[in-house]
Structure 1
């Protein structure tokens, strides 16, 4: 099987369209539920495979964090993300002014050739912060004190 360019199938196009409609950075399972509204017979495996292809071709971003489910972003522009340390929700960070990652050429890592970097912020989403303040949410030990 050749590893050439992947053609844009109807299923892949619908998965991409549905991902680009939302800003919630869904997991594959969450996106599967959205896609099923348009393609009732689509399988979860098809959604997973197509998300991998779309990620490999640069059509979407795959957001990976240790211990968390992968999430996907239809916005491939350079931007930053914030992840809730309680529920795992991911959002975009609105940065004012001209803020960019440092130039990779300025970094040296013995035994590595740097190709890219990412910056992710962590905090509590409004829902988890409110639930924790009411004593309704047990936050992980790494979460920040909600009274701050």
Structure 2
């Protein structure tokens, strides 16, 4: 049988637990990492004539799982991003392979025709209206993604 004192302690303990939970940040889970698919699809959809309608932020989702300092820009003919992979990504070559795996899984219609430790190349579309997707190492510690269209 619970005494009035033990009931009071249970209520106070519960109130303290709820208050502490409200102060602590939400726990992050591995599956909370941003997916680059939406960003890749948005960039590909803009090809070849609307790259200039994209903002620098449009490409950051591609780099976000791997680096936090993406710098992206658009011209009439292409959209590109350059970033430094996180230190836990391993070498630039390993990070490049991970980006290529994302491109392949997010864009199943893309043809992957170059696969090397320093360059990955994909294309989508017919020869006369092809969108090119090139991911490369940029120096010893940076990655570069360029999407261009004809």
- Structure richer in helix, relative to its length: 2
- Structure richer in strand, relative to its length: 2
Larger of the two Rg values belongs to structure: 2
> TM class, shorter-chain normalised?
under 0.3
Q: TM-score, structure 1 length as denominator? A: 0.26
Q: TM-score, structure 2 length as denominator? A: 0.26
